[in-house]
Structure 1
Amino acid sequence: MEIDYKAIGQRIKIARIKKGMTQEVVSYIVDVTPAHMSNIETGKTKVSLSTLIAIANALSVSVDALLCDNVLNVKVIFEIEAKELFSDCDEYEIRLLVDILKSAKKAIRKDRKVRNMFEM
């Protein structure tokens, strides 16, 4: 399995923005140059394990959350992400999102069923 460094970088960037931190601040905490931090976020450079752990600690997120696009068993991570997505919604928004998700789930399963029929 190939590691998707762009996806890791994107998740780092999202977590950083959610925390209201700049690349410069995170790079200072993690002890890397701002240019290196930028390259990590864009996936132009491979982030080392020690740097990834330092970034996760600086952003108060789990390494799992940063790696979830590269890990096979990530259902729990996405469930947590969905819970966070719903946390600031009012009742109307939750009902609407649930209806949309039900429709999307039905369409995805129908599409998968059709694709499987043609793969036989």
Structure 2
Amino acid sequence: MKYFDIGQRIRRYRKACGLSQEALAQKVGISVTHMSHIETGNTKLSLPVLAKIAEELSVGTDALLSDAPKPDKAKLSAEVQDILDSFEIDELPVAVEVLRALRDSLAKRRA
């Protein structure tokens, strides 16, 4: 098991949630030093700590333990197009507006 990889996934999810190491450590009930060591792979984490981290980050433990397969962008694009095709013509501007708002919100979370 590659603890560094697990730590980096935790770090990515933590940042996506807008949490500092200090904030997540406090929520999980561990020291900031321990959280830092988990993220750098310098320590092994227990199952209870892994479960608490996953809960606080609103992800499954499986997402922290292994990389999920990369989504097929062409397949997803086709699915989005199918959904857009199902709208009435007067509904399309609203659907596009919702997609733009979602894109902008996700971009802010990544930043």
Return the TM-score normalized by structure 1. Answer: 0.58
| Structure in which a larger fraction of residues adopt helix | 1
Residue aligned with 1:44, SS: coil
Distance 2:28 2:18 in 1: 16
Residue aligned with 1:40, SS: helix
Match status 1:78 vs 2:76? no
Runs (4+) of structure 1 exceeding 6 A deviation are none
Q: Which position in structure 1 is the counterpart of 2:36?
A: 38
Distance 1:38 1:45 in 2: 9
Distance 1:66 1:30 in 2: 15
Alignment of 1:1-120 (within 5 A): 3-69=1-67, 77-79=68-70, 82=71
| Higher RCO (C-alpha under 8 Å, 6+ residues apart) | 2
> Deviation digits for residues 61-118 of structure 1, max 9, x if unmatched?
110000115xxxxxxx325xx37xx79xxx9xxxxxxxxxxxxxxxxxxxxxxxxxxx
RMSD: 2.5
Q: Which runs of 5+ in 1 are unaligned?
A: 70-76, 92-120
Taking only the aligned residue pairs, the percentage that are identical comes to: 45
Matched positions, count = 77
User: 1:7 is matched by which residue type in structure 2?
Assistant: D
Return the TM-score normalized by structure 2. Answer: 0.62
Q: Which runs of 5+ in 2 are unaligned?
A: 82-111
Distance 1:78 1:12 in 2: 17
